[in-house]
Amino acid sequence: MTERSNSEFWTISKLILFAIVAVVALILLYFSLSIIMMSLIGIGIGVLLAPILSFLRQKFKIPRALSALLCLIIIILVVGGASYGAWYLVDRFINIFTISAIFAIITPNHTRRQAWHEKHYYPHWHSPTKAKNCLLSFQDR
């Protein structure tokens, strides 16, 4: 009996220990995810730049460190320029769309109010002969 309970105790202890180690491993993986992603991005950039660096070193006799710096500066300028251009286009589209939406929302009520105001406070504008006389009087000035 004691052997059986002792065996069950160690089995449960191993399961609990495994669960604790798994939870700690997942927590460490979660918090180190940004470091892992940056490392993978760096490795990818290194793999992509290796042929260019070799070419610059062989053809122009530029040291590898300087050619790596030049390549990174060029990549940053290209990606930055493309990002800025895309941001500029999206910003202009949003501004134009916002102004058009506001104008579409406000204009119908404004024109209705303006028409009512003109009809009640300036009735001669709606009479063709009075409007013509008013226009002629403005042309004389």
For residue range 114-131, what is the model confidence (pLDDT) as tens digits? 666 666 665 555 555 555
For residue range 54-68, what is the model confidence (pLDDT) as tens digits? 998 999 998 989 998
Average per-residue pLDDT for the chain:
80
For residue range 85-110, what is the model confidence (pLDDT) as tens digits? 999 999 988 888 887 777 666 665 55
Our measurement of the distance from residue 14's CA atom to the centroid of its chain's CA atoms, rounded to an integer in Å, reads: 48
pTM for this model (two decimals): 0.47
Core vs surface per residue 112-138: b (16+ CB within 10 A) or e:
eeeeeeeeeeeeeeeeeeeeeeeeeee
Core vs surface per residue 18-50: b (16+ CB within 10 A) or e:
eeeeeeeeeeeeeeeeeeeeeeeeeeeeeeebe
